[in-house]
A and B are shown apart, each in its own frame.
Chain A
């Protein structure tokens, strides 16, 4: 009978699904959807849901998925660097200390991307195909007529909860465009968010490259099945 004292790490299905879901969303929005288009916004909201679930899972999930299993600690990351230099291989139940820092960095960046994205787009459009991206600036279809009345109604009525919501989430893109042409006041904020969005996305690409490099490096160094832990049916006991 083979010894089973060392259980290979296997992430639970929620961790796997949210990880690969975010991967799919990032690839989709980086390559396939047009920036600022309805589909881009939809994919972004999907990513927001996945990210929120993973962060919730960090509070209520099984031990190795919880934040308490991998606190962001530069001291432990330095100690881990020492291990690498000395060629020691230590088994970690959750992320190793460097991997933990990477996870928090990626989550933080994703939060900034999602936040700035929502700040620009507003709520998800009812028909994503109807909202065009930056190339086709004329957006038709998105809640056309009633908005005019609502716009005025909103200014007159003391819609306090509505105004509070608008502090975090602007009205949908179609309305924002109208405001853009008329007053132009919202434009400056939008440009700022656009800048933040773009910088954060470029940072994300850098972090993803480092993350993949880290996985390859650690797999070659320690021989742990890091990839097997994240793929469906991987690291199963034979």
Chain B
């Protein structure tokens, strides 16, 4: 199912979509906080004006309460934004560390198996889910060459198929 739509199955796509959704959500909260802040400026000025006109009446007390609630809403909304942003950043960093560690681990394994540079490249594409034709196109090589390189990789790794190769690394992760 993947082979016909290589663009949709590119690794990392799902993570990026999720990041974008999170970005949109924080942008929405930010927009509400900004509107609240502008409204608070108007309302506080208006409440102060009413104090100037009438002194401290019950009406002014209610207005003061609303003004306070607006300002508190801005502060709390800002605080919420900050935790959202910090969490998003932490997740991004954790993901970068994890993907960096995995890349390092894959490199070590390839060296242990004694893969050549070309075989390592082919093996990496195989791990990312590309089939022989795609790898050949990406590397600008003949399919026959790629097939031969892949079977070398499988032999050195001690597996029989692409699925076997992938499962070696999945096992390490679990």
Contacts and interface: CB of A to CB of B under 8 A. Distances in A.
Contacts of B85: 12, 62
B48 A53 contact: no
Given A45-B41, A162-B53, A60 B46 contact: no
Given A50-B37, A56-B78, A123-B46, A17 B53 contact: no
Contacts of A159: 52, 54-55
Interface in B36-67: 37-42, 45-46, 48-49, 51-56
Contact of A60 (B31, B49, B79): B79
A154 B41 contact: no
Contacts of B41: 45-46, 48-49, 52
Interface stretch (A79-87, A166-174, A200-208, A213-221): A166-174
Interface in B70-109: 74-75, 78-79, 81-82, 85-86, 89, 96, 99-100, 103
Given A49-B42, A165-B51, A12 B34 contact: no
Interface in A89-136: 118, 122-124
Given A123-B49, A169-B48, A53 B34 contact: yes
Interface string A141-180: 0000000001000100101111101101101100000000
B78 A165 contact: no
* Secondary structure type dominating chain B contacts: helix
Given A21-B34, A45-B41, A52-B41, A14 B78 contact: yes
B27 interface: yes
Contacts, number: 111
Interface in A5-23: 12-14, 16-18, 21
Nearest to B45: A123
B30 interface: yes
Nearest to A232: B27
B105 to A, nearest CB: 12
A61 B85 CA distance: 9
A101 B26 CA distance: 29
A89 B42 CA distance: 44
A150 B45 CA distance: 18
Given A49-B42, A53-B37, A60-B75, A123 B82 contact: no
Interface string A32-66: 00000000001001101110110011001110000
Contacts of B100: 1, 4
A154 B42 CA distance: 23
Contact of B74 (A1, A56, A169): A56
A162 B30 contact: no
A48 B43 CA distance: 12
Interface in A62-76: 62
B33 interface: yes
A49 B53 contact: no
A1 B103 contact: yes
A124 B52 contact: no
Nearest to A53: B37
Contacts of B56: 161
A165 B52 contact: yes
A150 B53 contact: yes
B34 A123 contact: no
Given A50-B37, A62-B86, A169-B45, A4 B52 contact: no
B40 A161 contact: no
B78 A50 contact: no
Interface string B99-141: 1100100000000000000000000000000000000000000
| Shortest beta-carbon contacts, A-B, top 8 | A49-B41, A13-B30, A123-B49, A49-B38, A53-B37, A159-B55, A165-B52, A162-B52
